[in-house]
Structure 1
Amino acid sequence: MEIDFITSNKGKIAALKRSFLNAGRFDIKVNQVQADIVEPQLNNIADVSKYKAMEAFKILKKPILVEDGGLVIEALNGFPGPYTKYVSSTIGIDGILKLMNGENNRAAKFVSFATFVGNDGTVCQFERFGDNFEIAYERKTVIHPDAWSDLWQVMYMKDYGKMLCEFSKQELSDFTERSQTSGSLQQFAKWFLEKY
C-alpha cells in the first residue's frame, strides 16, 4: 500500500513513516511527491490545505495527502496563520515583534491540517492545535542546531521556563515526542490504518 504525500519537507515524510512503523505497519510506503500547485491566498489554514489537496488530486488523478500549518497569535486575531511562511520571509521575526509591541497577551500556537483526498474525491481533514507558548518580548540570539525556523528565537515555552531555541537535546526530544503523538499527520495515520 502506498500514500502519495505532497511536501518538500522531509521531516513531514519521516513523521508519517514513523507513525505507521509505531503502529506495526511496515507495508505502507510513503512517497514524497512534487506538484506545481499555486499557494492560494486564503485566510484559513484548513481552506489552504483543502484547496492544495484538491488541486493535487485534479492534477495527479489519484489519492493524495497534503499538510499545512501556521503560527496563530491571539493578540493579532490569528495572524499570520496561513501567511506564516510569507511573513517569516518578508518582515521576519523582528517584524512580528514590532506588530506585538504594546501587547500584553503573548499567547500563540501552531495549527496544522492534514488533508487526504481519496480515490472518489472524498476529502478528509485532520486538525491539530499545537502546544501553547508565548511570543517573547525580544529575540534570543541563540541558534538551535535543530531549528526549522527563526521563530524558535521568540517562542517562550512556559512549561519549560525557557525559549525553544534554548532547549537541550533531551528537552527537545521529549517535547517533539509529545507533540508528534497528536499531530495532524498522526491523526491521519490512525484513521488511515482503521479505514484501510
Structure 2
Amino acid sequence: MSRNLTIVTSNTNKAKEVAAFFGGTLEVRHVALDIPELRSDDVTEIAREKARYAYHHLHVPLIVDDTAFSIDALNGFPGPYAAYVLKSIGNTGILRLMDGVKDRNARFTTAIAFADETGIEIFTGTIEGRIITAPRGTGGFGYDPIFEVQGQTLAEIPLEEKSAISHRARALTAFRDWFVKKAGLKRSPADAKRLKDQRTLL
C-alpha cells in the first residue's frame, strides 16, 4: 500500500494539523472538495457519509473527519453542528451563552473516516476541557481560544504539541496504528520516537 494519504477538507488549518501529526510517516496530500452538508446527531455517521461521498469522486485512499463540540451546561450544544454555530455566532456568541454559568465543562470529539477500495473504517478521539470566560492565545483555529485543557487553551499550545494531544490527534493515533499495520509500513527510528512521545502526552 502507498505511503501517500489524501485528506479531504476545506479547512487548510486542519490539513496542516494532520500533516504535522504524521510527520515523515506518511506523505499527506490536501484536497478541498465541496461535500454536501450532512445532518446527524452522530459525528461517526457524518464522517462515514463524507468519506463515502469523497471516495466516490476521487477514487484514492483518503480520510475525512467531523468534530462535535459539546458543552455540558448547554445540553451538549452545539455538538455536531459546531462548524455552523461557529460561523453563525462565533466564540463571542458561545461566551455570551455561558455568561454566569458555573459548569464550564466541555469536550471535543473527532471522528476520522478512512475510505479506500475495500470500504470505510471509523476512528474516534475525545479531549475533555472547559470553557473559559475570555479568549486566550493566538494559535489554533475555531473554538481553540476559548477551550482550556490543563491550564492552557488549545490556541496557546504550539502546533506540534497540539498535534500530539488534541481530540483529532487521538483519533489519528488510532487510525495510524491501524493503517501502518494494514499497509505493512515500517516506521523510521524518528517516527517511532515521535509516536512514543505522542502517546506519553496522551
- Where on the TM-score scale, by shorter chain, does this alignment land: which range? 0.7 to 0.9
Residue 124 of structure 2 corresponds to: 127
Deviation per CA, 1:152-173, whole angstroms, max 9, x where unpaired? 443244x22x5555x4xxx546
Q: Give CA-to-partner distance per residue, 1:158-191, whole Å, 9 cap, x none.
A: x22x5555x4xxx546852541594212321221
Relative to the length of structure 1, the TM-score reads: 0.76
Cα distance in 2 between the residues matched to 1:75 and 1:9: 28
Aligned to 1:100: 98
Q: What are the equivalent positions in structure 2 for 1:31-42 lying under 5 Å apart?
A: 31-42=29-40
- Do 1:53 and 1:115's aligned partners in 2 also have CA atoms closer than 8 Å? yes
TM-score normalised according to structure 2 size: 0.74
Deviations 1:104-139 (A, max 9, x none): 32110111111011212x211110001x22113x32
Which amino acid is the alignment partner of residue 90 of structure 1? S
Find out whether 1:179 has 2:165 as its counterpart: yes
Amino acid of the structure 2 residue aligned with 1:111: T
- Note the residue ranges of structure 2 that are not aligned, 5 or more in a row: 184-202
Change (3 A) 1:47 1:16: same
Deviation larger for 82-91 or 172-181: 172-181
| Alignment length (residue pairs) | 180
* Mapped partners of 1:126, 1:139: distance in 2: 32
Alignment of 1:148 onto 2:141: yes
How far 1:16 sits from its partner (Å)? 3.7
- Secondary structure in 2 aligned to 1:93? helix
Q: Secondary structure at the match of 1:115?
A: strand
SS at match of 1:51: helix
Identify if the C-alpha distance between structure 1 residues 87 and 5 changes in structure 2 by more than 3 Å, giving closer, same or farther.
Answer: same
Matched, 1:69 2:67: yes
Q: Structure 1: which 5+ runs fail to align?
A: none
Between the aligned partners of 2:147 and 2:42, the Cα distance in structure 1 is: 22
Name the amino acid aligned to 2:68.
Answer: G
Does the 8 Å contact 1:71/1:108 carry over to 2?
yes
Distance 1:36 1:115 in 2: 17
SS in structure 2 of the partner of residue 183 of structure 1: helix
Q: CA deviation at 1:41?
A: 2.0
Quick one: which of 134, 140, 153 aligns to 1:139? 134
Matches of 1:64 and 1:10, distance apart in 2: 16
Q: Equivalent residue for 2:9? A: 7
Q: Distance in 1 between matches of 2:160 and 2:20?
A: 16
2:78 partner amino acid: P
Question: What is the identity, as a one-letter code, of the residue corresponding to 2:36?
Answer: V
Q: Distance in 1 between matches of 2:161 and 2:129?
A: 12
